[in-house]
Structure formats: structure tokens, C-alpha cells
Amino acid sequence: MHVIVLNGGSSSGKSSLARALQELLPEPWLHLGTDTLVAALPSRLLTGGDGIGGVTDGDGTVEVGPVFARLDAAWSVGVAAMARAGARVLVDEVFLGGAASQQRWRSALEGLDVLWVGVRCAPEVAAAREAARGDRVAGMAAAQASAVHEGVAYDLVVDTSQASPGDCAESVLARMANCG
């Protein structure tokens, strides 16, 4: 396995699952994703328009502009290049475009051994996590809880509102073992 893609809404538990996987997997895996990309952006691209809007304020919906879309596409190709160069990568993603987002990643990751994991979380649980964190826009978790999974195909789905990050990581490891 070269890449594990974890797709879920904001505050769904993707990062906690990725950290649990990093502890359990025998080889080192890099944890990269949406938060990494957003943190690398200049602040002017965090206020909508050409960049990405709704990340720092708003009603929980995220709007993607053309410059962000171009950088996001380059990001996925760059992450794939790291995997092709020998890094094992845990991709922590929010498929804002649902099936279209997955297709973009599928194209970037073509030829690599990929495990697609849906990280589901009950909207009310994700919203409570969002509120407790204090660093997220209110409403983002509930708005994304189901929308990011629409039309997306997975090898495995875990529910972090029903299981701990460690238990979900064990499910991922078991699925990896069954992949060969």
C-alpha cells in the first residue's frame, strides 16, 4: 500500500485516525491533507474570491475559487509524486466536490496502490467536536458530514462517532491485510 485516503467532513476524526495509524503501521507514513494545504496558503486566499472562503468565517459552507482549485489540483499531484518517490502517505481530505474530488485524486494517484477510507461521523457529534475545538467555523462540520461522501466509492467506511480512533485504525489495518 502506498497511499491511504481518508475522506470525511470537518471534525469527523480524520486527523485522529491518521495519528492512530501512524502509531500502528510498521513503516513511517506521512500525514498530509487539506489542513496542510490551507495552512500553506497566503492569508489573502483564505477570504473567498479566487481562494477559499468560509474557512475563517461564514455559515459553515466552503466556497472554492479558481486559484485555490488550481493549487489544490497541484497539491494532489505533488502528494502523488511523493508516494511515487517512495513515501507512504496518509491523505487527510475533505471532498468538497464529492465524486469529482475523488476522481481528481484517482487521476493523480493512478498506478499507486491506494486504500479509500470513508470517515463518517454523525453530524451532531462532529458539531460538538467542532464547538469544543474552538478553531473551526460553526456549522462547517454539520454541513460537510454527509455532503463530502456523496457519490464517493470506498474500500472501507469507519464511523468515528461509534468507534475510537484506535478501533478505526485497527479496521483499516485489517482491510489492508485483506488487500494482499
Cell readout for 44 is 489573502
Question: Of 35, 50, 113, 155, which residue is the catalytic one?
Answer: 35
For the segment 34-44, the average pLDDT, to the nearest whole number, is 87
Q: pLDDT (tens digit, 9 = 90+) per residue, 79-88?
A: 999 999 999 9
CA distance 9 to 93: 8
Q: Give me the CATH code for the 3-33+80-178 domain, please.
A: 3.40.50.300
For the segment 89-113, the average pLDDT, to the nearest whole number, is 94
The yes-or-no verdict on residue 135 having pLDDT over 70 is no
Mark whether 35 is an active-site residue: yes
Q: Where are the domains of the chain?
A: 3-33+80-178
Please report, for residues 58, 60, 68, 101, 112, the alpha-carbon distance to residue 63 in angstroms, rounded to integers and kept in the order given: 10, 10, 10, 14, 30
CA distance 98 to 55: 18
Helix count and strand count (H, E) for the chain: 7, 7
- Rounded to two decimals, the pTM is 0.89
